[in-house]
Amino acid sequence: MVVDVAGQALTFGEHLRGWRLVLGLTALQVCERADISPNTLRALERGKTTVGFDTVLRVARALGVLDQLIESVDPLTSDLGRARAAALGRQRVSSPRRIASES
């Protein structure tokens, strides 16, 4: 399966820009809140994949969407994740490691 990372990065950047505009924040205000340069914010909003992960998190925090971003990757917030976690829990409980006894 081929992942279109560039396309997804562009969409992600556009969504961050959308949040900035919906919140009525200027690029400069977000830069000040996130402690980044305008060029860095511009790169992120344009989907450049060279922007560091820490910068993504700082901008998300500046926009007030960091908690949503973190929650979106929590496996226990989805039906599939909860089901798989429950199956793992049952599997681990029902089949503990056995230690060979010394004779």
Structure tokens belonging to residue 3: 């992942």
Q: Judge whether residue 86 has pLDDT over 70.
A: yes
Rounded CA separation 89/13 (Å): 37
Q: Judge whether residue 36 has pLDDT over 60.
A: yes
Average pLDDT of the residues in 37-63: 98
- Find the angle CA(6)-CA(60)-CA(29) to the nearest 5 degrees: 110
Average pLDDT of the residues in 40-48: 98
The per-residue pLDDT for 70 is 95
Q: Where would I find the H helices in the chain?
A: 5-22, 27-34, 38-45, 53-62, 66-72, 79-94
More confident residue, 78 or 56: 56
The per-residue pLDDT for 102 is 45
CATH superfamily of 5-94: lambda repressor-like DNA-binding domains (1.10.260.40)
The per-residue pLDDT for 85 is 87
Question: pTM for the full model?
Answer: 0.78
Residue 4's identity, in one-letter code, is D
Average pLDDT of the residues in 50-74: 97
List the domain boundaries for the chain: 5-94
CB neighbours of residue 62 within 10 Å: 23
The per-residue pLDDT for 33 is 98
User: Looking at beta carbons, which pairs linking 3-8 to residues 24 or more positions away fall under 8 Å?
Assistant: 5/49, 6/47, 6/49, 7/47
